[in-house]
């Protein structure tokens, strides 16, 4: 592991424009379950039930969605950034970080101190809810309090419209600006570091490959193997917090491989 850590330190040193690409695995050490690991969200719930088309087409689907969301939001609400999030803040301070592209909706990069303008939330955010009719926006906390008081399907208190968290559901259109900017920046970086993603969900999972095909070096830090491991310059199968801590220590210590 130490040798792999040093190789990543060297790659960061040689780079001017580094992108950090994160998934749910960067937040499990903050107590938020990921999706596809044993005990993950999709081991408890069937993702087929949460497609956008189902959500907007039936009250029953919305009730099922909000039941899952009410449970999923609690660990997000109480979570604190962990060592991996803090390491990304440290990387930003080196001036080499171009941006953080995250699939996460937990706002933990920003809460750790990453500059909000450097964080691209590809799958939206869980901290706000919008009416799909009048676009009124609510803090998630408010809607969570409705749900905890027994409301089964929250409705807009202005127009009666359907309320939905500002996250991107399966089958829902990706946010155009965030998606376009992520691919554009991936084409212009010289190093992309994946932290905690199985890299199975598209189009997000194509972003690291876009960077590599544009000449950037690819590093993957993930507890389990991913389908993209063979494309990476360095692959570290280990815990995000510890690995990122050691990489930043190596970078700061100035020791060479």
- Which of 86, 118, 155, 223 is in the footprint of ligand APR by CB under 6 A? 223
Task: DSSP for 87-155, please give it.
Answer: HHHHHHHTT-EEEEEE---S-HHHHHT--GGGEEETTEEEEEEEETTT--EEEHHHHHHHHHTT-SS-B
Cα 179 to Cα 153: distance, rounded to the nearest angstrom: 30
Residue 226, burial from CB neighbour count under 10 angstroms (0-12, 13-18, 19+): buried
Task: Give the residue carrying structure tokens 């220590």.
Answer: 249
Q: Is 213 in the site for ligand APR (CB under 6 A)?
A: no
Q: Is residue 239 close enough to count as binding ligand APR by CB under 6 A?
A: yes
Choose, from 85, 109, 123, 228, the residue flagged as catalytic.
123
> x-or-dash pattern for ligand APR, window 154-193, by CB under 6 A?
----------------------------------------
Q: Give whichever of 25 and 154 is closer to ligand APR, judged by the CB atom.
A: 25
- 69 contributes a contact to ligand APR by CB under 6 A: no
Give the residue with the Cβ less far from ligand APR, 163 or 205: 205
Q: Which residue has the tokens 């937990």?
A: 106
- CA 168 to CA 238: how far, in whole Å? 28
Near ligand APR by CB under 6 A: residue from 98, 186, 198, 228: 198
Q: Is the peptide bond before 203 cis (omega within 30 degrees of 0)?
A: yes
CB of 36 vs ligand APR, minimal distance in Å: 4
Interatomic CA distance for residues 15 and 106, integer angstroms:
28
Q: Which of 8, 18, 24, 218 binds ligand APR (CB under 6 A)?
A: 24
Q: Between 8 and 240, whose beta carbon lies closer to ligand APR?
A: 240
Among positions 201, 206, 209, 229, the unique one binding ligand APR when judged by CB under 6 A: 201
If the CB atoms of residues 29 and 90 are measured against ligand APR, the closer one turns out to be: 29
Under rule CB under 6 A, how many of the chain's residues touch ligand APR? 22
Stretch that binds ligand APR, among 31-39, 72-80, 93-101, 107-115 (CB under 6 A): 31-39
Stretch that binds ligand APR, among 13-21, 29-37, 53-61, 138-146 (CB under 6 A): 29-37
Q: How many other CB atoms sit within 10 Å of the CB of residue 116?
A: 9
Cis peptide before 214 (omega within 30 of 0): no
| Strands ordered across the beta sheet of 137-139 | 137-139, 124-131, 163-167
Helices (H) and strands (E) in the chain, counts: 10, 9
Please say if 228 is a catalytic residue. Answer: no
Catalytic residue positions?
123
Judged by the rule CB under 6 A, the positions of this chain that interact with ligand APR are 23-25, 28-29, 34-37, 40, 103, 123, 196-198, 200-201, 222-224, 239-240
């Amino acid at each position: 592991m130490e040798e792999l850590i040093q190789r990543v330190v060297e790659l960061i040193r040689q780079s001017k424009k580094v992108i950090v690409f994160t998934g749910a695995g960067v937040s499990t050490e903050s107590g938020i379950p990921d999706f596809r690991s044993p005990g993950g969200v999709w081991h408890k719930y069937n993702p087929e039930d949460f497609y956008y088309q189902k959500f907007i087409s039936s009250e029953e689907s919305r009730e099922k969605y909000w039941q899952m969301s009410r449970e999923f939001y609690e660990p997000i609400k109480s979570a604190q950034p962990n060592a991996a999030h803090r390491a990304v803040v440290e990387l930003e301070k080196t001036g080499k970080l171009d941006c953080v592209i995250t699939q996460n909706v937990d706002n933990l990069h920003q809460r750790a101190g990453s500059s909000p303008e450097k964080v691209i939330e590809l799958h939206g955010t869980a901290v706000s809810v919008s009416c799909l009719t009048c676009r009124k926006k609510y803090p998630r906390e408010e809607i969570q309090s409705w749900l905890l008081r027994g409301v089964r399907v929250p409705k807009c208190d202005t127009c009666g419209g359907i309320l939905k968290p500002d996250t991107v559901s399966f089958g829902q259109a990706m946010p155009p600006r965030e998606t376009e900017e992520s691919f554009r920046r991936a084409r212009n970086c010289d190093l992309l570091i994946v932290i905690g993603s199985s890299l199975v969900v598209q189009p997000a999972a194509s972003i690291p490959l876009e960077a590599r095909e544009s000449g950037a070096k690819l590093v993957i830090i993930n507890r389990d193997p991913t389908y993209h491991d063979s494309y990476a310059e360095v692959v570290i199968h280990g815990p995000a917090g510890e690995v990122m801590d050691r990489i930043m220590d190596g970078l700061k210590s100035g020791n060479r491989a």
